[in-house]
Structure formats: structure tokens, C-alpha cells
């Protein structure tokens, strides 16, 4: 009943509930209240430092010799560990390096780095001096990086000479140089970590060698900031080509993550927690860096892939090696492992005695994959749902509160602190079991976004459709038992291998191609990656050499957005299905691609286009 009790307390007395959580943190000025209605801020008069809570606090509590960060890089063959003592040294000196470079409290710092320990030190160092980091995922191309630089106007950029993908070295520095060339805002300084695998040329009067700057720096102490001051900006895909800069605060974030580590994941100080994601995504921010460290747990930073680095046994071998208590990954990773190791031979070879549960998120966990891995592991496998905007899980099975009952196909029940509603098309509360728009009642709990950087209008637009509620952008259903089932996005966002991408943004890129008159990009179901983008393109009369146009479109998407957005296919159509008012019927395109039942809407302008599109894009029946 611990879950019910926590849910009821958080619901009835959010002030008391979250003030109790806040007491588990170190405050320079303790807050007198949890939530302030007027400003919608959490712990508004409190002052604290997130880095001090994630690092210094554990050293002060006598856990300095405990492992804090384990770096495992099967892609380079390297691994290293850092105790809390060592982490404190590295982070406080990296903070000194930032100060030396002219970074001040409140300045923004873009971090465009691979999965190396220095990236984590950089994030924590920003937090230490009250600078606002904005990590950009390494799989994004130069124009995407430029957009983020222009929006948050960093004083400094932290980057590295290269990232490593299976079979190739990705030179980050030319991408950074290109991005700074494209952006109107020019950061004063770029601090570049030279990796052994590739040396980058430094630009005079702007670029600094990381190691030299670090060696010359002195450690600095944490700077207390207001609980409501921004800790970081993390850009995420919206429905257009302009990414949304989700702003995260300090105090609410630290409180929410601390609570989640214990009560959702069942992790305490001294435990080993591994989120196999990337620091470029919210999962990486919350559960590679801040969550585990705030909890005093050991976190694993993994530079590799679930398969091929070197094989599908890497997850299980590392769990065995480091006695990992909880693993968190995306369903795509499990699908990839299953494909490579269908009988679970690698799983059987490793000792998984330390593992208590596997958590999945980032995209829908299809029951088939979830049940397969649950059987292979013989441990609870827990789907849970959240978004960049929220910062921590909103729907889950709270394993740490003793809950293990799951329903495959559902992401679990509302996490204490959240109140969900489903509205039907008429705007009334949907009956249990009926699908509608998934909303969260305001005030949103601590840790959730309170702003989008530079974009108050866009932020407000998330709350206008249903006053008093945040529109999640997902369709969902709450069943009789309170389990919430996620049906997918209601907008033009897709999830490719757990990566959130905007088809609207891809359309902007494709439409810019000189041979293209009109296009639509939709997400098609994909056995491995969950979804993949597919473009339908109408070319200008006289456009020849369509294979070359197709190649060019794919190349442009990779160069403008990034390789993670590579479309699975590009189809050249004669016409797109539209309503009489000219809106492209994307659901119809999706149904055609997925081989689903085709429901022709009354509003369609010309039903005859459907036949041609089926011939073009419907899945072919398997031979034999
Ligand atoms: N820097 C540069 N390029 C990157 C990159 C990065 N950080 N991450 C991915 N890419 C590139 C890849 O090299 C690949 O390029 P290619 O098309 O030239 O081969 C492309 O982007 C697509 O990458 P990815 O989606 O990782 O696909 P993949 O085919 O290389 O690997 C999986 C397939 C299933 C192994 C991989 O998608 C995976 O590990 N998924 C788990 C998802 C996950 O952890 N999500 C995090 C959210 S919780
Ligand atoms: P991101 O902001 O990148 O974390 O992506 C958030 C979106 O991913 C959500 O709005 C959902 O559409 C999807 N998502 C995340 N977790 C799940 C899940 N467990 N089940 C279904 N969809 C999910």
C-alpha cells in the first residue's frame, strides 16, 4: 500500500509531501514553502547548489571513497572509475577552468560532446558555478547545433575532437566550426578535449585545449543559486523546425530526482544504477548524471551500443562486472539484442544476481519485447513514461515503493505528484478505457518545466487547449484499474530508436530541395527502431533522375538534422491525400505504410489518390 499512501499524500498535501523531500537535500537557505502558486515556482525562497548536492554532500557524509562514476567504453576499449572524492576534485577544477575562461553565473554553456567523463564533469561544473548548460546530442548535425547556439547564446562551448560510432570516427570539431560559422551568435571561447583517436586543429583566439586549461585551473566552491534559477536548457523537438529549449530549475529538479531514485527505481546511496542512454537526451541528464549522483549512488557512463560493441552480451557483462542493481534503457536496445541473441545465450552466461529490475522508456515498449526480456532475465521489467518537458517519470510502476504488478502494454499508474486526465474530442473527461488526449493537471510537480528558453508563447501554448492542464501531446487511455496506456503522439513528433524527432522539421528540409514541389514526412512502424521517417515527395515537372533526387534528399536530412534522422524511404508520389481544406491526411499515409486498415475520411478531397499510394508504399506480402 506504500504507493497508494504516497500518491494520496502527494495529492492531498503537496506542500507537506515535497517539503519532506526537500529536507533530504542540503540548502544554503532552506525553503519556507514548497510551491508558490503566484509564480508556479518550487521552493521559491530556497537557495542551494545542485552540484554540491550531487557531489560535495556525499564527500561530507563520509562516502568520498565510494565509486561515483564508472566510465565504460567498449568502443575504445577504455574504462575508468571515479570515487566521490575524485569526482569532487575533477568537477571543482573543471568549474575553475570555466571561470578562468570567463564563464559567469547565469551564462549559458553549450556542451557538444561524446560520452566521456569530461562531459559529465562539464555539466556538473556548470551547475557548480550557476552557469546554465545546454547539452546538444552528438548525433545532431551542424545546422541543428547552430540553431541551439543562436537561441541560448552561450558564453562558451565545451566540445571534443571526436566521437566514436561503430566502424567510424566522427570528427566533432569541424561540425562545431561549421555551426559557429552558421550561427549569428559567436561564443567567446570553445574548450576542446583532444581525444587520442583524433586530433583537432584549434581556431586561434577562440579555441582552448581542455587539458592545458584544466591543468592551469584552481578548484572553485559551489555558488548558491535560487531554487528556481535555471540549471540547464535542453532542446527537444517540437512540431516545427525550431527546437524547444526546455528550462529546468535547480531545487524542484533535485527534489524530484532524489525522490524518484528511491521510490520509483528502488536505488539508495551505494547502489549501482545504469541508464544506457546518452547525455544528449533527458534520460542522460536525469539518470546518467543528476539522479544517481544526487542519491549518492554509482552511475555508469557507457560509450557503446547494445550490440556490436563488441556483441549483444555487453549489457549483461557490465551488469555482472559492476553489480548493477537497476538498468534503464530504451525498448529499441532490447529489440536489437533480441535480434542478435534470440535465445538469450549471452544473458544466460552472465551472472545477473545484482539486478533487481529493468526499466524501459523513451518509446512504446511493445508487449512482445517486454515479455521476452522479462522471461530471459527472470526479473521485473517495467515500462514507464515521461518526456523532456517533465524531466522525470510521470507514469510508472513504483518499484521502490514495492510495486511489481505490471500490465504489458501499459506504462503503469500515475506517479505520486502527478494527476492525469484523458479528454475526448468534445473536451469532456473520457470514460475509463476510452482513448483521448492525455493531460496533466496543474500545478505540475517539481522538476517539470516552467519555461521554454526565449519562448513564452510556445510554453503557454502547452496549457491553452485545456485550461489548468498541460497537454502532453500523447494520446492515452486510463483503464478501470488506473493503469495508463499510451497510444502515441497526437502531433508530428516521432520516436526513432527512442530519439524524439519532428517530421515537421524534416518536411522543412525536404521542401527546400530544388526538385521538390510538395512533401509529407510521416513515421512508419519499424521492427527495430519503433518508428522511422518516410517521405512522400511530389517533384517539379521535368525532374529527372529520381534515384539521384532520393539520395540527395537523404543526404540533406543527414547533413541538416543529423544521421539519427535518416529516413527509411523516400517515395515519389503523383499526389498527396488531402482534405478539402488542403490539410495532408498523414494518418492515411501512416496506415498505408503500416498495412493497417484504411479508413477514408469524409473530408478527403480526392479518394482516387489512395490507390496509387497503396501501390507505391504499402508493405509487400512476404514471399513463399
Ligand atoms: N554521434 C554521431 N552520430 C551518431 C550518434 C552520435 N552520438 N548516435 C547515433 N549516430 C548515428 C549512427 O552512427 C547512425 O549513422 P549511420 O546511419 O551512418 O549508420 C545513425 O546516427 C543512426 O544511429 P542509431 O539510431 O543509433 O542506429 P544504429 O543503426 O547505429 O544502431 C541501435 C541501432 C538499435 C543499436 C541503436 O539505435 C541503439 O542503441 N538504440 C538504443 C536507443 C537509446 O539508447 N535511446 C536513448 C533514449 S532512452
Ligand atoms: P522525450 O521528450 O524525448 O523523452 O520523448 C517523449 C515522448 O516519447 C513522449 O511524449 C511519448 O510520445 C514517447 N514515450 C516516452 N516514453 C514512452 C513510453 N514508455 N511509452 C510510450 N511512449 C513513450
Asked if 359 and 384 count as a contact pair (C-beta separation under 8 A), the reply is yes
Mapping DSSP onto H, E and C, the string for 319-379 reads HHHHCCCEEEECHHHHHHHHHHCCCCHHHHHCCCCCCCEEEECCCCCCHHHHHHHHHHHCC
Question: Which cell goes with 623?
Answer: 514471399
Strand partners, 275: 328
Report the percentage of the chain scoring pLDDT > 90: 97
Strands 499-502 and 469-478: unpaired
Q: With a 6 A CB cut-off, is 388 part of the ligand 2 pocket? A: yes
Return the pLDDT at 240.
83
* Residue whose CA lies nearest to ligand 2 atom number 7: 387
| CA separation, residue 377 to residues 170, 195, 302, 352, 536 (Å) | 35, 37, 21, 8, 41
Q: With a 6 A CB cut-off, is 163 part of the ligand 1 pocket? A: yes
Instruction: Using pLDDT thresholds of 50, 70 and 90, give the confidence band for residue 487.
Output: very high
- For a substitution probing ligand 1, which of 497, 500, 501, 555 has the most ligand atoms within 8 Å of its CB? 497
Is the backbone of residue 133 left (phi > 0), alpha (psi -120 to 50) or beta? beta
Cis peptide, bond prior to residue 310, ω within 30 of zero: yes
Domain boundaries, the chain: 2-304+384-476, 501-617
Q: With a 6 A CB cut-off, is 333 part of the ligand 1 pocket? A: yes
Q: Which atom of ligand 1 is nearest to the CA of 165?
A: 13
Ligand 2 centroid – CA 159 distance (Å): 28
Question: Which cell goes with 192?
Answer: 576542446
User: Residue 309 carries which DSSP code?
Assistant: S
pLDDT tens, residue by residue, 251-286:
999 999 999 999 999 999 999 999 999 999 999 999
Q: With a 6 A CB cut-off, is 307 part of the ligand 1 pocket? A: yes
| CA separation, residue 613 to residues 403, 572, 574, 609, 619 (Å) | 47, 9, 8, 7, 11
pLDDT tens, residue by residue, 493-504:
999 999 999 999
pLDDT tens, residue by residue, 121-168:
999 999 999 999 999 999 999 999 999 999 999 999 999 999 999 999
Pick the CATH number of 501-617 from 3.40.605.10, 3.30.300.30, 3.40.50.360, 3.50.50.60: 3.30.300.30
Ligand 1 centroid – CA 367 distance (Å): 23
Angle at CA of residue 560, ends 556 and 562, nearest 5°: 100
Cα separation, 215 vs 321, in Å, equals 32
Mean pLDDT, the chain, rounded, equals: 97
Among residues 300, 310, 265, which one has the least CA distance to residue 279?
300
Ligand 2 centroid – CA 86 distance (Å): 35
Q: Which long-range contacts (CB under 8 A, 24 or more apart) does 458-465 make?
A: 458/238, 458/244, 462/389, 465/437
- For a substitution probing ligand 2, which of 246, 278, 364 has the most ligand atoms within 8 Å of its CB? 364
Q: Beta-carbon neighbour count of residue 328 at 10 Å? A: 24
Phi, psi of 284 (to 5 degrees): -65, -45
Instruction: Using pLDDT thresholds of 50, 70 and 90, give the confidence band for residue 612.
Output: very high
Ligand 1 centroid – CA 558 distance (Å): 13
Cα separation, 283 vs 275, in Å, equals 7
Indicate whether 479 pLDDT > 60.
yes
Ligand 1 centroid – CA 426 distance (Å): 40
Q: With a 6 A CB cut-off, is 363 part of the ligand 2 pocket? A: yes
Return the pLDDT at 543.
83
Among residues 460, 456, 319, which one has the least CA distance to residue 379?
319
Ligand 2 centroid – CA 494 distance (Å): 9
Return the pLDDT at 293.
99
Q: Find cell 557524509 and name the residue.
A: 61
User: Residue 224 carries which DSSP code?
Assistant: P
Global confidence as pTM? 0.97
Ligand 2 centroid – CA 330 distance (Å): 10
Ligand 1 centroid – CA 170 distance (Å): 13
Among residues 521, 440, 425, 428, which one has the least CA distance to residue 473?
440
Cα separation, 317 vs 337, in Å, equals 13
Ligand 1 centroid – CA 524 distance (Å): 18
Q: Which atom of ligand 1 is nearest to the CA of 562?
A: 21
Using CB atoms within 10 Å of the CB of residue 205, give its burial: 0 to 12 exposed, 13 to 18 middle, 19+ buried.
Answer: exposed
pLDDT tens, residue by residue, 13-28:
999 999 999 999 999 9
- Taking the CA of 75 as reference, the closest ligand is 1
Domain 2-304+384-476 sits in CATH at 3.40.50.12780
Q: With a 6 A CB cut-off, is 249 part of the ligand 2 pocket? A: no
- Give the number of residues written for the chain: 624
Return the pLDDT at 623.
65
Question: Which cell goes with 41?
Answer: 515556482
pLDDT tens, residue by residue, 32-58:
999 999 999 999 999 999 999 999 999
Cα separation, 276 vs 472, in Å, equals 25
Q: With a 6 A CB cut-off, is 238 part of the ligand 2 pocket? A: no
Q: With a 6 A CB cut-off, is 46 part of the ligand 1 pocket? A: no
* Residue whose CA lies nearest to ligand 1 atom number 13: 165
Ligand 2 centroid – CA 188 distance (Å): 36
Q: With a 6 A CB cut-off, is 530 part of the ligand 1 pocket? A: no
Among residues 399, 414, 408, which one has the least CA distance to residue 331?
408
pLDDT tens, residue by residue, 385-412:
999 999 999 999 999 999 999 999 999 9
pLDDT tens, residue by residue, 429-470:
999 999 999 999 999 999 999 999 999 999 999 999 999 999
pLDDT tens, residue by residue, 326-356:
999 999 999 999 999 999 999 999 999 999 9
Return the pLDDT at 544.
83
Question: Which cell goes with 598?
Answer: 484504411
Ligand 2 centroid – CA 17 distance (Å): 27
Q: With a 6 A CB cut-off, is 138 part of the ligand 1 pocket? A: yes
- For a substitution probing ligand 1, which of 310, 563, 566, 567 has the most ligand atoms within 8 Å of its CB? 563
Ligand 2 centroid – CA 39 distance (Å): 28
Cα separation, 538 vs 540, in Å, equals 7
- How far is residue 141 CA from its own chain's centroid? 17
Return the pLDDT at 624.
52
Cβ contacts of residue 340 below 8 Å, gap of 6+? 307, 308, 311, 312
Cβ contacts of residue 622 below 8 Å, gap of 6+? none
Q: With a 6 A CB cut-off, is 309 part of the ligand 1 pocket? A: no
Between 49 and 492, residue with greater pLDDT: 49
Asked if 296 and 262 count as a contact pair (C-beta separation under 8 A), the reply is no
* Residue whose CA lies nearest to ligand 1 atom number 9: 139
Among residues 447, 489, 519, 455, which one has the least CA distance to residue 243?
455
Cα separation, 229 vs 249, in Å, equals 5
Q: With a 6 A CB cut-off, is 388 part of the ligand 1 pocket? A: no
Among residues 451, 441, 328, 439, which one has the least CA distance to residue 389?
451
Q: With a 6 A CB cut-off, is 362 part of the ligand 2 pocket? A: yes
Q: With a 6 A CB cut-off, is 284 part of the ligand 1 pocket? A: no
Q: Is 590 helix (H, G, I), strand (E, B) or coil?
A: helix
Amino acid at each position: 500500500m506504500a504507493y497508494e499512501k504516497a500518491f494520496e499524500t502527494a495529492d492531498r498535501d503537496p506542500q507537506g509531501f515535497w517539503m519532506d523531500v526537500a529536507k533530504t537535500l542540503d540548502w544554503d537557505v532552506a525553503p519556507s514553502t514548497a510551491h508558490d502558486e503566484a509564480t508556479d515556482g518550487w521552493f521559491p525562497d530556497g537557495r542551494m547548489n545542485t552540484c554540491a548536492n550531487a557531489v560535495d554532500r556525499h564527500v561530507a557524509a563520509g562516502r568520498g571513497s565510494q565509486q561515483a562514476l564508472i566510465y565504460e567504453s567498449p568502443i575504445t576499449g577504455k574504462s575508468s572509475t571515479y570515487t566521490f572524492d575524485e569526482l569532487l576534485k575533477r568537477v571543482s577544477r573543471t568549474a575553475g577552468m570555466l571561470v578562468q575562461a570567463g564563464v559567469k553565473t547565469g551564462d549559458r554553456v553549450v556542451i557538444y560532446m561524446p560520452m566521456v567523463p569530461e562531459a559529465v564533469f562539464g555539466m556538473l561544473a556548470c551547475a557548480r558555478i550557476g552557469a546554465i548548460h545546454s547539452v546538444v546530442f552528438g548525433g545532431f548535425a551542424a545546422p541543428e547545433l547552430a540553431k541551439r547556439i543562436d537561441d541560448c547564446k552561450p558564453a562558451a562551448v565545451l566540445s571534443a575532437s571526436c566521437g566514436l560510432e561503430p566502424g567510424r570516427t566522427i570528427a566533432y570539431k569541424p561540425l562545431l566550426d561549421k555551426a559557429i560559422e552558421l550561427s549569428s551568435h559567436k561564443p567567446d571561447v570553445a574548450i576542446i578535449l583532444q581525444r587520442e583517436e583524433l586530433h583537432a586543429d584549434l581556431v586561434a583566439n577562440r579555441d582552448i585545449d581542455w587539458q592545458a586549461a584544466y591543468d592551469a585551473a584552481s578548484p572553485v566552491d559551489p555558488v548558491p543559486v535560487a531554487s528556481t534559477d535555471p540549471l540547464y536548457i535542453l532542446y527537444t523537438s517540437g512540431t516545427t523546425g525550431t527546437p524547444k529549449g526546455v528550462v529546468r530549475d535547480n531545487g524542484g529538479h533535485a527534489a524530484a530526482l532524489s525522490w524518484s531514485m528511491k521510490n520509483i527505481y528502488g536505488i539508495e546511496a551505494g547502489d549501482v544504477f545504469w541508464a544506457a542512454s546518452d547525455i544528449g537526451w533527458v534520460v542522460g541528464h536525469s539518470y546518467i548524471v543528476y539522479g544517481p549522483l544526487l542519491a549518492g549512488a554509482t552511475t555508469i557512463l557507457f560509450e557503446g551500443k547494445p550490440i556490436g560493441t563488441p556483441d549483444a552480451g555487453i549489457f549483461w557483462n557490465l551488469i555482472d562486472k559492476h553489480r548493477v542493481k537497476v538498468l534503464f534503457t530504451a525498448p529499441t536496445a532490447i529489440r536489437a539484442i533480441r535480434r542478435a541473441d534470440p535465445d538469450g545465450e549471452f544473458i544466460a552466461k552472465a551472472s545477473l544476481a545484482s539486478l533487481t529490475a529493468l526499466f524501459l522508456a523513451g518509446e512504446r515498449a511493445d508487449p512482445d519485447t517486454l515479455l521476452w526480456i522479462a522471461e530471459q532475465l527472470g526479473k521485473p521489467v517495467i515500462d514507464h513514461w515521461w518526456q523532456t518537458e517533465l524531466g522525470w517519470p510521470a507514469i510508472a510502476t513504483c518499484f521502490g515503493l514495492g510495486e511489481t504488478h505490471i500490465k504489458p502494454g501499459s506504462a503503469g499508474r500515475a506517479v505520486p505528484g502527478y494527476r492525469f486526465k484523458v479528454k475526448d474530442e468534445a473536451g469532456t473527461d473520457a470514460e475509463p478505457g476510452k482513448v483521448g488526449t492525455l493531460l496533466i493537471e496543474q500545478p505540475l510537480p517539481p522538476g517539470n518545466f516552467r519555461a521554454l528558453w526565449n519562448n513564452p508563447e510556445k510554453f503557454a501554448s502547452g496549457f491553452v487547449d485545456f485550461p489548468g492542464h498541460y497537454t502532453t501531446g500523447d494520446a492515452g487511455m486510463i483503464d478501470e484499474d488506473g493503469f495508463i496506456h499510451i497510444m502515441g503522439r497526437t502531433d508530428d513528433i516521432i520516436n526513432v530508436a527512442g530519439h524524439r524527432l519532428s517530421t515537421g522539421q524534416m518536411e522543412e528540409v525536404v521542401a527546400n530541395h530544388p526538385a521538390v514541389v510538395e512533401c509529407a514526412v510521416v513515421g512508419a512502424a519499424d521492427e527495430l527502431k519503433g518508428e522511422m521517417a518516410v517521405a512522400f515527395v511530389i517533384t517539379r515537372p521535368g525532374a529527372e533522375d529520381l534515384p539521384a533526387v532520393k539520395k540527395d534528399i537523404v543526404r540533406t536530412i543527414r547533413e541538416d538534422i543529423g544521421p539519427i534522422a535518416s529516413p527509411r524511404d523516400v517515395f515519389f508520389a503523383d499526389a498527396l491525400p488531402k482534405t478539402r481544406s488542403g490539410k495532408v491526411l498523414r494518418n492515411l499515409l501512416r496506415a498505408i505504410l503500416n498495412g493497417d486498415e484504411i479508413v477514408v475520411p469524409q473530408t478527403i478531397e480526392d479518394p482516387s489518390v489512395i490507390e496509387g499510394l497503396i501501390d507505391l508504399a504499402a508493405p509487400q506480402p512476404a514471399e513463399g
